Amino acid sequence: MSQQVWFITGSSRGLGRALVTAALEAGDRVVATARRPEALAEAVGTYGDRIHPLALDVTRPEAAREAVEAALARYGRIDVLVNNAGYANVAPIETADEDDFRAQFETNFWGVYHVTKAALPTLRRQGAGTVVQISSIGGRVGGSPGIASYQAAKFAVDGFSRVLAAETAPFGVQVMVVEPSGFATDWAGSSMTVHPIPAAYDETVGAMNRRVRQSPEGPAGDPQRAAEIIVRTVRRGRVPSHLLLGVNAATMALEHSRRQLAEATAWEKVSRSADFGEPYPVELPPEDTAR
């Protein structure tokens, strides 16, 4: 495949930084955006004019438009858009600060919206392009105590991306949602603020915090491998709608799908009975098989 131009948000560290390196090592060019683009100085020294660092606050729509324009002025096109910028803070829903909850959503969902919308006219005119949304296995399975804002945003990104894929397919644009499990990045380190956890939530939010932040083993996922897999997948042409990364991601997704299928099957007659012309009423399934 010929040299591609990547536009990556949240490029200064973690998976974003690994993606920058993987794309450059594959021979591509990268517009690497971050709040602090100076953190990419070493990459500029190594890869020269094939990397173009840009400052970008994804929560500002005008900044997203300016960054896309700067990318086009530098390289003339955008082949792969990666919405990677995001973070999570820990707090129970009951006691979480509303402003903090909203601020996370501004980055984790609205940032994706702003950057995607800014790039869409270019992708449509090109008649080609791939949008990569970095989500989480939590955005499919959910239910991780303490990070409601983050997971709610990831569910929203998934719904947004499914509609985006349907709307842009006629233009030759593909959309891939990446769903990692735990990876060795700063996501659960310096990027995460843990707010006070009341004793009543120690068994749920507290336990999650200890498992994620205080495990001596650390996350199993290798960001470099993940980045290389994403680059290889994009460069092959046709991408999957969803790409699971990590043992836990694959295991959790399959178990979740089996539970969903079993529940939908158990309740199928009840579900169908809500329509005119269907048998009604019908018996509810036994409680031990209803979930």
Residues whose CB is less than 8 angstroms from the CB of residue 248 and which lie 6 or more positions away in sequence, other chains included: 137, 181, 182, 220
229 with 268, same domain: the answer is no
Q: List the one residue out of 233, 132, 249, 230 whose CA is nearest residue 182.
A: 249
User: What digits encode the pLDDT tens for the residues 13-38?
Assistant: 899 999 999 999 999 999 999 999 99
Which of 116-125, 184-193, 245-254 has the weakest average pLDDT?
Answer: 184-193
User: What digits encode the pLDDT tens for the residues 252-274?
Assistant: 999 999 999 999 999 999 999 99
206 with 70, same domain: the answer is yes
266 with 174, same domain: the answer is no
196 with 257, same domain: the answer is no
226 with 264, same domain: the answer is no
Whether the pLDDT of residue 191 is over 70: the answer is: yes
Separation CA 36–CA 237 (nearest Å): 32
What per-residue confidence (pLDDT) applies to 289?
A: 59
Total-model pTM: 0.94
Strands (E) across 56-202 are located at: 80-83, 129-134, 173-180
User: What digits encode the pLDDT tens for the residues 163-179?
Assistant: 999 999 999 999 999 99
| Mean pLDDT for all residues in the chain | 93
241 with 252, same domain: the answer is no
What per-residue confidence (pLDDT) applies to 128?
A: 97
Give me the phi and psi of 244, to 5 degrees please. Answer: -85, 140
15 with 31, same domain: the answer is yes
CATH of residue 105? 3.40.50.720
User: What are the residue numbers of the active site?
Assistant: 135, 150, 154
Number of domains making up the chain: 2
User: What digits encode the pLDDT tens for the residues 47-61?
Assistant: 999 999 999 999 999
236 with 288, same domain: the answer is no
Whether the pLDDT of residue 211 is over 80: the answer is: no
The residue segments making up the domain with residue 104 are 5-245
114 with 131, same domain: the answer is yes
For residues 43 and 32, the answer to whether their CB atoms sit within 8 Å is yes
